[in-house]
Amino acid sequence: MPRSLLAVLSRYAVVCMLASAGCASGGGLVESRALSADFDAYRTGALEVEPTGLDGGAKGAQQFLDYLQAKLQKAGVVEPLPVEQGAQLIVHVKAASNNSGEDDVRVLVDFIDARSRQTIGQLTVSGGRPDKSAAPMRRIADDIVSYMRKNRHAAPSAKKKGQGDTAVGAVAPVVPAATGPAAGVASSGACKITCTPDSASSMTPDDQTRVAQAFQPMLKDMRVCLDRVSAQAIHPAVILRFEGNGQLSHVRVDTGGYDELNCVQDARSRPPPIVVGRPASVRCEYRCAR
């Protein structure tokens, strides 16, 4: 996934000095809040993108997120990891208000220590004039990656003597879930999936639990997907139908309006090979303690 500074925008051959008053329409980067920690202290990172106000809405946010994550990973800045699995750094991106009067695509980027939930730095990044392509948002992603690379060793005071490579954002190990879950429940760390048949269906407790365990990976992937577009309030769910022979025949996704995200559809495309003892309709929902 998934450092002053020069933001090089090759398309317009423009170089904007950090903290300058403004840049040409090709874009630019301003450090709104100086870094208080070295990026080199963070080995893993999660990306969060708020689609509201961004070009293309949820779909555009997903495309931007995928591009930024790939660039961060290729640059070796941070290794992508979901927040729920212990990401040390959160890179949160949302549309920025534009009071300059210029017609440009602009975002606000917060770098957040995932353990303390404290913001360690903030950027305002412009991608230049909006057009029908993804170019402005990709320029923004390139600037973010460049900033993080150039600031991997920019704050040596963030490490105390003798700490070596201990990560500032390291989190405590996840406590294993208690044994003996109720029927239709499967747990993973702070998250739990609950599968409940509808009133017209009859399913054994053993089948309920097996269904919950089988669909846990799919719903976990959807949870990660929703976190990446800042939809933490949505609890991903699937509605399942099993036919007379117990074979799974239908999977419907319920992600609160985010069903068309590529990562949601990708998770849905890999249903587990599970068979139950009788026909049933079941709803499985994935919830995480926040």
How much is the pLDDT for 178?
Answer: 38
Above 90 in pLDDT, residue 110?
yes
How much is the pLDDT for 119?
Answer: 92
How much is the pLDDT for 285?
Answer: 93
Mean pLDDT of 268-281: 89
pLDDT band for 27, please (50, 70, 90 cuts).
Answer: low
How much is the pLDDT for 13?
Answer: 24
pLDDT band for 184, please (50, 70, 90 cuts).
Answer: low
Please name the fold of domain 6-158: Double Stranded RNA Binding Domain (3.30.160)
| pLDDT over 70, % of the chain | 76
Above 80 in pLDDT, residue 239?
yes
Cα of 174 vs its chain's centroid, Å: 19
Above 80 in pLDDT, residue 49?
yes
Above 70 in pLDDT, residue 22?
no
Mean pLDDT of 187-215: 85
How much is the pLDDT for 91?
Answer: 92
CA 211 – CA 190 distance, rounded (Å): 19
How much is the pLDDT for 185?
Answer: 63
How much is the pLDDT for 177?
Answer: 39
How much is the pLDDT for 10?
Answer: 25
Could you tell me which residue, 29 or 133, shows the higher pLDDT? Answer: 29
Alpha-carbon distances of 28 from 22, 134, 197, 199, 263, rounded to whole Å? 7, 16, 53, 57, 30
Interstrand relation of 118-128 and 105-113 (parallel, antiparallel or unpaired): antiparallel
| pLDDT over 90, % of the chain | 14
Above 80 in pLDDT, residue 109?
yes
Above 60 in pLDDT, residue 4?
no
Above 80 in pLDDT, residue 281?
yes
Average pLDDT, rounded, for the chain: 75
Above 50 in pLDDT, residue 21?
no
Could you tell me which residue, 31 or 18, shows the higher pLDDT? Answer: 31
Alpha-carbon distances of 235 from 90, 127, 163, rounded to whole Å? 20, 33, 39
Above 70 in pLDDT, residue 104?
yes
Per-residue b or e along 48-68, where b marks 16 or more CB atoms closer than 10 Å to that residue's CB: bbbbeebbeebeebbbbbbbb
Domain range list for the chain: 6-158, 185-288
How much is the pLDDT for 260?
Answer: 83
Could you tell me which residue, 286 or 258, shows the higher pLDDT? Answer: 286
Residue identified by tokens 């068979």 is 275
Above 50 in pLDDT, residue 268?
yes
Token output for 257: 């309006």
How much is the pLDDT for 15?
Answer: 27
Mean pLDDT of 227-255: 88
Mean pLDDT of 88-100: 82
